[in-house]
Structure 1
Amino acid sequence: MTTTRKRSRLPARYAAIVSPLVLSLLMTFIVSFISTLKSLGFHPSLPSIWMSAWGLSWLVAFPTLLMVLPAVRRIVGWLCEPAAR
């Protein structure tokens, strides 16, 4: 008999931090790769330079997202109709 263990999840109150965390990780991962690739081309040291650039860009992006996200939500609310309920 096999038992499945339910994966524990974070409480909903953490969504305001987890959302910008995931967004900043994914966006800086992609953008830093494109920038590093454009700058260096396919170079043997590309992975190490890219990871260094990614780390630095994420250190800037995550706190920036936390600070500007409330303003972005207000701007989007001003530009878009509210969702129908």
Structure 2
Amino acid sequence: MKLNEKQANVLSMFIMVAIMTCVVTLVMALLNHGFELLIWMKGWGISFLVAFPTVLVVMPITKKIVSKLVKK
């Protein structure tokens, strides 16, 4: 199965958000509480639910702004 460009972009954002939220919540859990699996999983789930829709909205806006700043 091959993905079209839009699907590939969404999948890339999904993977990026999953990894980023995993790492950030893990670091914060270790700094604040020590590692407790259930606390970390709850934090990761909540942060992912906030971060993924945010990226879906913000990324197209960011691409438009950057494309206007890049010389062609």
Q: Does 1:75 align with 2:65?
A: yes
Structure 1 residues 14, 38: CA separation in 2 closer, same or farther (over 3 Å shift)?
same
Q: Cα offset for 1:9?
A: 3.8
SS at match of 2:28: helix
In the alignment, what sits opposite 1:56?
A: 46
User: What is the letter of the counterpart of residue 56 of structure 1?
Assistant: I
TM-score by structure 2 length?
0.82
Structure 1 residues 12, 74: CA separation in 2 closer, same or farther (over 3 Å shift)?
closer
Which has the larger share of helix? Answer: 2
Q: Which stretches in structure 2 are left out of the alignment for 5+ residues?
A: none
Structure 1 stretches of 4+ with a deviation exceeding 6 A read: none
Aligned length, in residue pairs = 72
Q: Cα offset for 1:26?
A: 0.7
Determine which of 27, 30, 33 is the counterpart of 1:34: 27
The percent of aligned pairs where both chains have the same amino acid is 36
What is the rounded CA distance, in whole Å, between the counterparts of 1:81 and 1:35 in structure 2? 39
Q: Cα offset for 1:81?
A: 4.1
What is the rounded CA distance, in whole Å, between the counterparts of 2:63 and 2:3 in structure 1? 23
More displaced stretch, 10-19 vs 25-34: 10-19
Q: Does 1:20 align with 2:13?
A: yes
Q: Which stretches in structure 1 are left out of the alignment for 5+ residues?
A: 1-7
* Aligned residues: CA RMSD: 1.7
